[in-house]
Structure 1
Amino acid sequence: MTHRYCDGVTRRDFFQIGALGSAGLTLSSYLQLASAGEVQPAKGKSAIFIYLGGGPPHMDTFDLKPDAPAEFRGEFNPIDTNVAGLQICEHLPRLAKCADKFAVLRGISHTLAGHELGTSYVNTGSRPVPSLIYPGYGSVISRELTGASDLPHFVAIPNTPQRAGYLGVRYAPLQTGSVPSAGQPYSVRGISLGKDQTPEKFAARNQLLGKLDTGLDEFRNSSKLVEGLDRFGQQAFDLISSPRAREAFDISREDPQIAEPFGTTKFAQSCLLATRLIEAGVKFATVSFGGWDTHSGNFKKCKESLLPELDQGLAGLFNTLDLKGLLPSTTVFVIGEFGRTPKINPSAGRDHWPRAMFALLAGGGIRGGQVIGASDDKGQGPAGEPITPDQVAASFYHSLGIDFRKEYHTSTGRPVTIVREGSVIPTLFG
């Protein structure tokens, strides 16, 4: 699936209730809370990242303003959820019934209004700089969390803007390049065996290649690229030899009672696949769902396709993880690169607006059924202190037991903190 953004460049789905008045904490304040036991320990062992490419409209999804002037509030009405005092858009009825499973963050704010810069920011947790490519969440998690050798550690469905950056190619994602279809066997290049191939034939071929590669040993020892490619070759052998990996990707094996509520859309089937991967032991899966760049016809697009698809797929994901007992150990993170303009434009659309946006977080010790942060009465900016993408990233890593203050080193020896400016939002874990 491809989407053309307002800058004219076509990208493939981004390959390319209490409110907390102040979400920010100084490092010293965070450490004080942690030592006092007020920041709960991590419970997440794996994660699913849902990326809403293009910038979903906060005021038409999870941050409605029914009392704002008509040119701001839009065409949609809020509905009650299963959490007292928490309302979301009327076109998200399934999510309204499971709102106790996720936390809504409102009033997230930054200043990067371009797609590529905003995308980089929210997929890494660090504001982009020209001199360095920060690793995406999946690459950091692949490095920090130990996974099974016969499963990929970082899977992107169908692709992702997250890059390994200075961590090197060995932490790059396995991109499926396609999405599954309901009830159909699903093949992934690099995992599924070709016609007339068997694990035994592949093993024999792998041994032959290993003998031919001995002349590269000296170069391999001095090259991070070759080291990474060598790791990919071994992992490809492990995956193709693994019945567990092949079964995890085959959604046709899912119990029909589990699969049916997801429906048949590409996004929903991708969410179903993500739950199967996590259940099998994959550490990080990301699903890209684009099409949110609604400069014109925002309400028609949201009502007819975007919101119903998001509602069914995401509710299916939350409910299935909960049903299988995986939600407590799986952190789910949903975000786009920015929100959209509170004031509706003449084309019945909303434009780029990084000053106010939303995110959803669930699982991994995060307390669902709460709202943290707020935007002002017209959705134009935060009400009080803003939440930054860095703080959301720090909280995400914290839920997985990863120290967001940890330093890595680039190939030139430069020390770089995983999240440069972050701090944990403690009420997420209260």
Structure 2
Amino acid sequence: AAQAMPTDPPDIGAICQYLGLGPKDLPGAVCMPCFPGSGEKGHRRRGPYGGFLGKQYDPLFTLCNPTFSREPKVKYYDPVMAVGEPVPPTAEALADMTVERLDRRRSLMSQIDSEFARTQESAAIDTMSEAQRRAFLLLTSGRTRDAFDLNLEPASIREAYGRHLPGASLLIARRLVESGVPFVSVHQEIFDHYGHSYDMHSNNFSMLRNLNLPLLDQVIPALLQDLDSRGLLDSTLVVVMGEMGRTPKVNASAGRDHWPQCGFSLLFGGGVKQGLVYGSTDSIGAYPDSHPVSPADFVATIYQLMGIDPHMTVPDRSGRPIFIAHGGEPVHEIIT
């Protein structure tokens, strides 16, 4: 996969942070359970970054160190469920650091900044200062700590989501949304040879039957029911999707390969019509047959549902205005 680059366009979470959405003592965007590619020798895949807007608009990336109950029989295509919980990168510091110590460190950092500013461009200083400000806010925010503390949840809720990394990630996502974080993303990470993801180039049917589909059947209803019981579903858009479809024809390894020509997404809650199927494909799911939706239109629809003007522009690194939805238009037919 392509490496994330500083010239990439910003993602939706970065735009939320750019607009200053959400409480000031919480991140505007969170990505769990880690940055995409973290489990693959740290290769940073493109996606959830500030891009040309700057690193200060990157989401808060959590950390995770999952355990596995067994070794896979074959690399990648005999996935083993990851067990663990995502934690904020400040967790270790919080364990033994008081607010007073943090204040002393902030004072020292301010002195260093003053010296550094004499020899560096002010734009770089502004970027670093904003990142430092956010880091100190997160370190001292009780709401951030509480949102990641699953010990505050009853055992019945923990069991409903599942005591594994995907379940813990989605439960924390609900807690973050409840606290006011405007954008949370959770993805399936590949952890080296354990290979748990939906990238099924081999052993597709066994992976779906034994792990991937049962996992979705557990965590998605748990999240939706939990949000609904708390009165949050109508104001929260839940999107379930991959970055592409899969080949309609099965390959020689009983797998399905990448297929960007056609795919599907599931949308729940926040302003979306219930029980609606929008669009159709040909008989084998290879190409759109009616009402095709481009990636730009899909992104524009999400912005519209979030109350963000999809026709808004942001400046790239040379100051040119760039449309945040890349010229897409909202799909009004699915919006209530």
The answer to whether 1:405 aligns with 2:276 is: no
- Alpha-carbon offset, residue 184 of structure 1: 8.3
- Give the corresponding residue for 2:179: 280
Residues 195 and 354 of structure 1: is their aligned pair in 2 closer, same or farther, counting only changes over 3 Å? closer
The reply to whether residue 268 of structure 1 matches residue 170 of structure 2 is no
CA contact (8 A) 1:185 1:252 kept: no
- Structure 2 vs 1, CA of residues 196 and 347 (structure 1 numbering), >3 Å: closer, same or farther? closer
2:101 aligned to which of 188, 201, 207: 201
Aligned positions of 1:153-192 closer than 5 A: 153-158=28-33, 159-160=35-36, 161-178=47-64, 187-191=87-91
SS in 1 for 2:281: coil
Structure-to-structure mapping, 1:51-62, within 5 angstroms: none
User: Root-mean-square deviation (CA), in Å?
Assistant: 2.6
Q: Distance in 1 between matches of 2:181 and 2:66?
A: 17
Residue 264 of structure 1: how far off its partner (Å): 1.4
Structure 2 counterpart of 1:245, one-letter code: T
Contact 2:62-2:86 within 8 A present in 1 as well: no
Gaps of 5+ in 2: 37-46, 68-81, 190-196
Q: Is the 8 A contact 2:85 2:164 kept in 1?
A: no
Give the TM-score normalised by the residue count of structure 1: 0.65
Q: Which residue of 2 aligns with 1:147?
A: 22
Which residue in the other structure is 1:213 paired with?
A: 113
Once the two structures are TM-superposed, the CA of residue 259 in structure 1 deviates from its matched residue by 2.3
Match of 1:248 in 2: 147
Deviation at residue 142 of structure 1 after TM alignment: 1.5
Where 2:290 maps in the other structure, the secondary structure is coil
Is the 1:185–1:250 Cα contact (8 Å) retained in structure 2? no
Q: Which of 1 and 2 has higher RCO (CA within 8 Å, sep 6+)?
A: 1
Distance 2:94 2:15 in 1: 32
Contact 2:64 2:87 (8 Å CA) reproduced: no
Q: Deviations over 1:273-324 (max 9, x none)?
A: 1111111111211111142221211000111111111221222111111111
**Contact 1:154 / 1:173 at 8 angstroms: preserved in 2?**
yes
Q: Deviations over 1:84-136 (max 9, x none)?
A: xxxxxxxxxxxxxxxxxxxxxxxxxxxxxxx549xx9xxxxxxxxx9941111
C-alpha distance in structure 2 between counterparts of 1:331 and 1:244, whole Å: 22
Distance 1:368 1:408 in 2: 33
Give the 3-state SS of the residue equivalent to 1:259 in structure 2.
helix
Q: Deviations over 1:349-369 (max 9, x none)?
A: 112212221111122211222
Note closer, same or farther for the CA distance 1:413–1:360 as it changes in structure 2 (3 Å cut): same
Q: Partner amino acid for 1:409? A: P
Contact 2:52 2:316 in 1 (8 A): yes
Q: Pick the aligned partner of 2:130 from 225, 228, 231.
A: 231
1:402 CA drift (Å) = 0.7
- Note the residue ranges of structure 1 that are not aligned, 5 or more in a row: 1-114, 121-129
Structure 2 partner of 1:299: 205
Bigger drift between 192-201 and 337-346 goes to 192-201
Query: 2:243 is matched with which residue?
Result: 337
Report the Cα distance in structure 2 between the residues aligned to 1:185 and 1:132, rounded to whole angstroms. Answer: 32
Aligned length: 304
Q: Against the structure 1 CA distance between its residues 146 and 191, is the aligned structure 2 distance closer, same or farther, given a 3 Å change threshold?
A: farther
Q: What amino acid is aligned across from residue 282 of structure 2 in structure 1? A: D
* Cα deviation, residue 256, structure 1: 2.5
Cα drift, residue 152 of structure 1: 1.2
Distance 1:268 1:285 in 2: 14
Letter in 1 for 2:50: A
Q: What is the Cα deviation at residue 254 of structure 1?
A: 1.4
Q: How does 1:38-53 map to 2 (within 5 A)?
A: none
Deviations 1:208-263 (A, max 9, x none): 3223322234567622x432221121112112112111111111211333222111
Instruction: Check conservation: 2:113, 2:125, Cα contact below 8 A.
Output: no
Provide TM-score, normalisation by structure 2: 0.83
- Give the letter for the 2:30 counterpart: V
Pairing of 1:128-147 with structure 2 (within 5 A): 132-147=7-22
